[in-house]
């Protein structure tokens, strides 16, 4: 059985900004964000999961996260999310 690693995008209800991250347990990670337990988003919750991709390796998920954090990646997300 394959194990998945996720690159995900959250949108803050507070400021509307996006946060990009990766995890091997997407549901638990989103819960941690919304409980204020993740330093990077502790002042921006509640957050909603607006996009994710599943990868077969941790390295690919991290690579994709870095890609989505670039100018090109942000433009891709705007088009993909319709914003």
Structure tokens that stand for 18 in this block? 């996006």
* pLDDT value of residue 83: 65
Confidence bin at 45 (pLDDT 50/70/90): confident
What superfamily would CATH give domain 5-81?
GIY-YIG endonuclease (3.40.1440.10)
Give per-residue pLDDT as tens, 59-78.
999 999 999 999 999 999 99
Write the CB contacts of 1 (distance below 8 Å, at least 6 apart in sequence): none
Confidence bin at 2 (pLDDT 50/70/90): confident
Give per-residue pLDDT as tens, 16-35.
999 999 999 999 999 999 99
Q: Are 61 and 22 in contact (CB under 8 A)?
A: yes
Q: How many residues comprise the chain?
A: 83
């Amino acid at each position: 059985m394959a194990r998945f690693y996720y690159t995900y995008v959250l949108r803050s209800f507070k400021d509307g900004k996006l946060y990009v991250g990766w995890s091997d347990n997407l549901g638990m990670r989103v819960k941690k964000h919304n409980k204020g337990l993740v330093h990077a988003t502790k002042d921006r919750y509640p957050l909603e999961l607006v996009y994710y991709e599943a990868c077969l390796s941790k390295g690919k998920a991290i690579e994709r996260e870095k890609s989505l954090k670039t100018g090109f990646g942000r433009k891709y997300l705007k088009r993909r999310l319709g914003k």
